[in-house]
Amino acid sequence: MFGLGGIDLIAGPSEILIIGDDHTDPHSTALDLMAQAEHDEEACSILVSLDLEFSKKVEEIIGNEVEKLQRKDIIKEFLFKKWLYYQSKLN
C-alpha cells in the first residue's frame, strides 16, 4: 500500500531509553516506558538507573497501572523482557 495513501511518516520500531535517579518522577517514567511498550511486542523500553529505590518505584507503578490499559496484553509482553537496568555506580 506504500505510496497509495497518505501517512504522517514511516514509523519504525518504538524505542525509548530513560536514565533516571532520585530526582526523576517515577510515575512519569513508568508512563513513558509503557507508552512505548504498548506499540508492539517487539518495542524496546529501557530504564537505566543508579538508584535502586527509584527503579523499584517505577516497577511497582507499572505493575499497578498496566491492568487499567486497553493494550495491557502487549505491555505485559514487555514486562517479561529485560526492561530495567540498575547500575550501582559509574566508573
25: Cβ–Cβ under 8 A, 6 or more apart, which residues?
none
Residue identified by cell 526492561 is 83
pLDDT higher than 60, residue 2: no
67: Cβ–Cβ under 8 A, 6 or more apart, which residues?
none
Kindly state whether residue 8 falls inside one of the protein's structural domains: no
Whole-number Å distance between alpha carbons of 80 and 5: 36
Whole-number Å distance between alpha carbons of 65 and 77: 15
CATH code: domain of residue 37: 3.40.50.1980
Kindly state whether residue 5 falls inside one of the protein's structural domains: no
Question: Structural domain of residue 45, as residue ranges?
Answer: 15-86
What value, to the nearest 5°, has the Cα angle with vertex 7 and ends 40 and 38? Answer: 15
The count of structural domains within the chain is 1
Question: Model confidence over 30-79: pLDDT tens digits?
Answer: 999 888 888 777 778 888 888 889 988 998 999 898 888 888 888 877 77
